[in-house]
A and B are shown apart, each in its own frame.
Chain A
Amino acid sequence: DTEVTQTPKHLVMGMTNKKSLKCEQHMGHRAMYWYKQKAKKPPELMFVYSYEKLSINESVPSRFSPECPNSSLLNLHLHALQPEDSALYLCASSQGGGGTGETQYFGPGTRLLVL
């Protein structure tokens, strides 16, 4: 299994809603990542988990809350989002602990629209 899966594929939420994005991989990878990609822009790193511990937080607003319940799962909890948070949210994983040069495997993304 060489896939990273993400659910849901699409999500529409209001600014007062609470929702969660889910990412799963069964490749035994020990690093997992969240990226945000706005239209016609490159992905921007949000968070990195290495061995289930948060190792990088790119100064992301607290309305985004990541969680890594186990080595296969990565969640992104959303609360009180703004319309400018509408984007494609990509999850990725890599084999080791996130060391340099590791190939990151990306999921298909969740397209989020905040109304």
Chain B
Amino acid sequence: AQSVTQLGSHVSVSEGALVLLRCNYSSSVPPYLFWYVQYPNQGLQLLLKYTTGATLVKGINGFEAEFKKSETSFHLTKPSAHMSDAAEYFCAVVASGGYQKVTFGTGTKLQVIP
């Protein structure tokens, strides 16, 4: 079985400050990991994903995440927050092999303060 834990349902940062959204996973097999963003009244958009290879993954809009197997973590970071980053962020895990059954975390709502 696989699961995802996102620490902090709400995170507030000042514009220009570092964004750090935390994600820890549990998986009995090597996982594939994703970060999605959801703006109000919209669907989900992929920010980045880790499958294999380099553990530091760069995504869209200046976001990146690092896969740390020893810590079972996949935290999302951005050096400088923009107002447009305010949204809901979901970490997700897929167990490797078989059909793509995605398990989402409970989400973190990011607020950016001007």
Contacts and interface: CB of A to CB of B under 8 A. Distances in A.
Tell me, yes or no, whether A binds B. Answer: yes
A55 interface: yes
A43 interface: yes
Contacts of A111: 41
Given A48-B100, A56-B101, A100-B100, A108 B43 contact: yes
A103 interface: yes
Interface in B65-114: 90, 94-102, 104-107
Nearest to B96: A100
Given A41-B106, A42-B107, A102-B100, A109 B32 contact: no
B43 A107 contact: yes
Nearest to A40: B107
A101 interface: yes
Chain A CB within 10 Å, residue with most, of B51, B97, B102: B102
A55 B99 contact: yes
A31 interface: yes
A98 to B, nearest CB: 5
Interface of A: 4, 31, 40-45, 48, 50, 55-56, 90, 92, 94, 98-109, 111
